[in-house]
Chains A and B, each alone.
Chain A
């Protein structure tokens, strides 16, 4: 059974600092990995999707890397802003014909102004 872990559970940084969020998974046979953001009381917003054949994906200040062999993904957020404060979750999908996602518990980020 796939287990997804996100450490740390919470992170507080001053504005302008770069954020590094970690996600690890036990079964390296994944189809893709997706990073989400969740604001309090809201749904999950998709940030980045990395296919198993890719090493990284970028969108604006966000960059996600994937190392399948070691079962790790890292989400980097450059020059953090107070608006980046949210919970960030990673989720892995096992196979192309299996759409179930295994989620980590999330990292709650606070960016202090």
Chain B
């Protein structure tokens, strides 16, 4: 398996624009997570899905953030409108009753 695949790897956008981050979890994994990492706050869990259903979205910072998982092999994290304080590395991870595996992340810069 190629592991957890995220796209794009880097994204630079202007404040106010919509940003969509994409994730393909490891095949057969039934849990998917979106994390955000910054120097100030470290790793923060934004939301996680189990069997495509959102289980805990308490980490989603504001209504500007939304996440979907339309099927077992794809998830998106959308920020609309984006703000400079959203600049961070966003990680997707997946798990199936054992180890959690992370993607390489999307480095988002909002200018």
Residues in chain A within 8 A of chain B (CB atoms): 32, 34, 36, 41-46, 49, 89, 91, 93, 96, 99-101, 103, 105-106
> Known interface pairs A43-B91, A99-B95. Does A91 touch B100 (Cβ–Cβ under 8 Å)?
yes
Q: Per a CB cutoff under 8 Å, which of A32, A45, A100, A103 touches B42?
A: A103
**Could you say which interface size class chain B belongs to?**
20 to 34
Closest 7 CB pairs of A and B: A44-B102, A99-B31, A43-B104, A43-B102, A49-B99, A103-B43, A43-B105
Q: How long is the Cα–Cα vector from A106 to B41 in the complex, in angstroms?
A: 12
Docked-complex contact B99 and A101, CB < 8 angstroms: no
Q: How long is the Cα–Cα vector from A32 to B98 in the complex, in angstroms?
A: 8
Chain A CB within 8 A of B34 CB: no
**A90, chain B: closest CB distance, angstroms:** 12
Q: How long is the Cα–Cα vector from A43 to B48 in the complex, in angstroms?
A: 18
**A4, chain B: closest CB distance, angstroms:** 11
Docked-complex contact A99 and B104, CB < 8 angstroms: no
Docked-complex contact B43 and A46, CB < 8 angstroms: no
> Known interface pairs A99-B31, A99-B48, A99-B50. Does A44 touch B91 (Cβ–Cβ under 8 Å)?
yes
Q: How long is the Cα–Cα vector from A30 to B42 in the complex, in angstroms?
A: 22
Docked-complex contact B56 and A100, CB < 8 angstroms: yes
Within 8 A of A (CB), among B77-106: 91, 93, 95, 97-105
